[in-house]
Structure 1
Amino acid sequence: MQRALPYLFVIVSFLLGIAIGQVVDWAPTAVSSDDRWGAFANSPKVELLGDGELLRLTEDFAYVDPRGKMWVAKKDTLVNGASIPRVFWTIIGSPMRGKYRNAAIVHDEACFSTTETWEDSHKMFYEACRCGGVSEKKAKLMYAAVYHYGPRWELNKRLETREHTEDGKTFSFQVAEYDSESIETPEVSMEVCEKIKAFIESENPSLDEIENIDPKTWEDN
């Protein structure tokens, strides 16, 4: 019970902050009963666009990771699972359906906004998948997909000095600003997808092992 308290505090703070500006009927929800995977602050509310594979969030949606960090996809964000290499969809299904839809929503936003490192964003995706009830091996397959073949970027952080004047006094303060530059990742074939799936199912590697493997191991064999 004690482990769940930090998540509850962050979630309630998030919901109260939203409620100040608008009426909401969200209920704090963690799909997984295992709180080591964090918690979703609410259920996503979306508008289906086009063929239903493109979603527009009609309210903010958030995931709190196991370290207490909140990942928010803001209202009006458009998501379609594009942050997950499409060739893997044949194996894992559409990211806009099923147990990893919620994880795909916050992962799409993280890969679009690029205000966090690509490594942290992909790790969050794995944890959010597990929080959503995705099995360990399937979540690891998806992690391998995004880690080696998903979006990457070089994140640059700089501090900008701002000034604020109040009651005749001027205060200086610093604000973090981010910009990023995309890093090219290799294309992946269906054959490689099947090899990665077989590797995950037979070896059940740790996340560190997945990160450290050379993709050419799959591509050259």
Structure 2
Amino acid sequence: MTRLTLIAGLCAALLPACSPLAVLEKAREVDAPVASCDRYSGPRCTFDKAPLRVLPEPVTIGGRPYQFFPTASQLNFVDADGTTWIAPRRTLTDGASVPQIFISIVGDPTSPEFRNAAAMHDAYCGIGNETGGMFHKARWQDVHKMFYDGLVVGGAAPGVAKLMFAAVWLGGPRWETSLTLDHVPVAARQQSMRKAKAFIEREDPPINRLIKFLETQDTALITAYPKIGATKAAAGPQDGSMAAAAVPATETPETFGQDGEEIIDPVIVDPVTLVPQTGDRTILLPPGEITADLDMPVDGETGGTESTKGDPGQGLQ
């Protein structure tokens, strides 16, 4: 029996005049427990390979600040529910999954503890993986929640993991839903992200409360910016990576948005090349390429560890 059914039954028995709206409001007040790796102790919440290993085959995708690399082998992750998530071999990843419009709020999204989670997230919704075997094979909400669990398991501090989760929830991809935010002006989404950051820093909420808070932000944004005809809002591609915001041809980067609304903290990122490394060995790219220290091990080098921990659960159907 769902919590909504239970509340509706009690309402019908005790308060015959209870309205449907009141039932929904009561349902929102119930904190349903959500299994997560920040509060779980047991054999789950594990990656089977760490650190992430990539092939020395850089891929450039237009408009992206970092180069992508294919993963060297299949990566498996078991979350707190016992669900197995799979990033197939040759999943393209740039080691980051935070939308570019939020980088100035969230900070550097390419730290080593983020990379396994980013690669797994990319397998399900990242650009360049549209033809992959796991692309959009789970609900967008579950994929973003998996990203949070993966960050925690990878070693990210809980507060940082919650901040990055909020960023992909508010700015990352959504599919099989009409409740999208891609039409909402960048400034409005950045303001919601700031509210989420303040809430996380003030309350340190468990993940179920954070999800409820983000759902209220969804409602506020969709109510303030309904989808009515064409919009001038700068959406930008929402693929779970650091995507550059799309600017309408008739407006400048400083003023694009609804009714010429200014963008808060526009992010300008110079293109760099992420280079897989192990120890002091660097894969050399063609002359003229700019390099940045990604420090992801190259396939064939030593240094990765295999884990036999993890309950395979039911997997994804």
TM-score, normalising length: structure 1: 0.61
- Determine if contact 2:66/2:94 at 8 Å carries over to the other structure: no
CA distance in 2, matches of 1:37, 1:194: 32
CA distance in 2, matches of 1:81, 1:183: 27
1:89 matches 2:103 = yes
- Determine if contact 1:34/1:131 at 8 Å carries over to the other structure: no
Aligned residue among 60, 80, 92 for 2:94 = 80
Q: What residue in structure 1 maps to residue 138 of structure 2? A: 116
Give how far 1:64 is off. Answer: 1.4
Q: What is the percentage of aligned positions where both structures have the same residue? A: 35
| 1:21-80 Cα shifts (integer Å, max 9, x gaps) | xxxxxxxxxxxx954760010122113525754221121112111222221111111123
Give how far 1:216 is off. Answer: 6.5
1:209 matches 2:218 = no
- DSSP-derived class of the 2:49 partner: coil
- Determine if contact 1:153/1:183 at 8 Å carries over to the other structure: no
| 1:82-140 Cα shifts (integer Å, max 9, x gaps) | 75322223344443433111111101112240001111111111111111111111111
- Determine if contact 2:97/2:109 at 8 Å carries over to the other structure: no
Aligned residue among 138, 142, 149 for 1:127 = 149
In structure 1, what residue type is equivalent to 2:86?
V
Aligned residue among 159, 163, 171 for 1:137 = 159
Q: What residue in structure 2 maps to residue 45 of structure 1? A: 53
Following TM superposition, the consecutive aligned residue runs of length 4 or more in structure 1 with deviations greater than 6 angstroms are 216-220
- Determine if contact 1:149/1:187 at 8 Å carries over to the other structure: no
- DSSP-derived class of the 1:71 partner: strand
CA distance in 1, matches of 2:90, 2:174: 24
TM-score, normalising length: structure 2: 0.44
Q: What residue in structure 1 maps to residue 193 of structure 2? A: 193
Q: How many correspondences in the alignment?
A: 162
- Determine if contact 2:192/2:217 at 8 Å carries over to the other structure: no
- DSSP-derived class of the 1:100 partner: helix
Extract unaligned runs of 5+ from structure 1: 1-32, 155-180
Q: What residue in structure 1 maps to residue 180 of structure 2? A: 184
- Determine if contact 2:151/2:161 at 8 Å carries over to the other structure: yes
Give how far 1:203 is off. Answer: 1.5
CA distance in 2, matches of 1:84, 1:183: 20
CA distance in 2, matches of 1:135, 1:76: 28
Change in 2 beyond 3 A, CA 1:54/1:101: same
Q: What residue in structure 2 maps to residue 106 of structure 1? A: 120
Map 1:61-76 to 2 at 5 A. Answer: 61-76=75-90
Change in 2 beyond 3 A, CA 1:216/1:125: closer
CA distance in 1, matches of 2:219, 2:174: 20
Query: Which structure has more strand as a fraction of its residues?
Result: 1
Structure 1 or 2, whichever has the larger Rg, is 2
After TM superposition, the structure 1 stretch with the greater mean CA deviation from structure 2, 210-219 or 83-92, is: 210-219
Q: CA RMSD of the aligned region, Å?
A: 3.0
